[in-house]
Amino acid sequence: MRVLVMGKARWIHLACGGWTMGWQGQVNDDVFDTVDNAVSLIKALQEHSNRNNYTVVDDEEGKGMLNSDYDVIIHVIAEDPYAEVYGDLDDGESLMHHRNQSRSGRHTYPEDLIRLKHARDSAPTTPIITILYSGRPLYVNEEINLSDAFVAAWLPCKQAGPGLTDLPFGAVNFTGRLSMKWPDHPCQFNIRKGDGQLPRFPYSYGLSYEDTHPRNDMPLLDVIELNTCLNPCSDLDGEDNTWESPDCDLGRSSNV
């Protein structure tokens, strides 16, 4: 078996978020070189493959995909580390993970979707497992559509590698369930009971292996491209790619 690992699988600091070895987290993995038992996902997969006789190819950009065949693709997408106010989205900014603009210049990750589209276009029949490191629910409908399996890994930090490696190979079943609702719209910041809004995934949602079904039977999710959410009660100027909140309680997306 040949496994292609793409994206941000080698970066432990992305799996840890803020409040680690520093308030806002780390900008690279240097500090984790001195931390005992800090294992990235790619390192754990390589160690697992050596014990179980399969091949792991580490190709962050997926550039070699057109030249080789793989049995499965693991693609890691992630937010940059943040804590407290530096994790807040500015007023009017959307929850879309792959948005390409923001007022602060933070929290934009278009490269994650570009890589995933490249993988799907290059290998349309190869199973893709997408793993998301994030500190909050995000709008990822298009990323889910392009994946055969999607794992919200949250921030597993220095043991991300061993923990996540056990899951896709069936050594451990998926048992996690959402402790909050997951958005079905890039501007769905606040979802309250009885307000008529439907989340993409409700509170306590989660799948285990017995819940899986063939990819061809999975309905595609609606995809809405919005970089900006315009609150009519704010003084933000309208611009292309905006959505108007139906009321004045747009709220903000917390980093918690």
* 66 pLDDT tier (thresholds 50, 70, 90): low
pLDDT of residue 103: 63
CATH number for the region 2-244 comes to 3.40.50.1700
Instruction: Quote the tokens at residue 164.
Output: 């996540």
Distances (CA, A) of 78 to 13, 61, 73, 163: 10, 14, 16, 17
Confidence of residue 222 (pLDDT cuts 50, 70, 90): confident
Report the C-alpha gap between 47 and 139 in whole angstroms.
Answer: 33
- Whether the pLDDT of residue 231 is over 60: the answer is no
How do 72-78 and 128-133 pair as beta strands? parallel
Compute CA distances 203 → 137, 156, 191, whole Å.
Answer: 12, 20, 11
Radius of gyration of the chain (CA): 19
Extents of the domains making up the chain? 2-244
Collapsed DSSP state (helix, strand, coil) of residue 227: coil
More confident residue, 200 or 32: 200
In the 8-state DSSP scheme, what is residue 96? B
Q: What is the DSSP letter of 238?
A: P
- Range ranked top by mean pLDDT from 22-36, 95-109, 188-202: 188-202
Q: Contact 78/153 with Cβ under 8 angstroms?
A: no
Q: Residue range 206-225: average pLDDT?
A: 80
Q: Is 73 in contact with 129 (CB distance < 8 Å)? A: yes
Question: pLDDT exceeding 70 applies to what percent of the chain?
Answer: 83
The pLDDT tens digits for 121-130 are 999 999 999 9
Q: What pLDDT digit, counting tens, does each position of 45-65 carry?
A: 999 999 999 999 999 888 877
The answer to whether 173 touches 237, Cβ cutoff 8 Å, is no
Return the closest-CA partner of residue 155 out of 188, 172, 132: 132
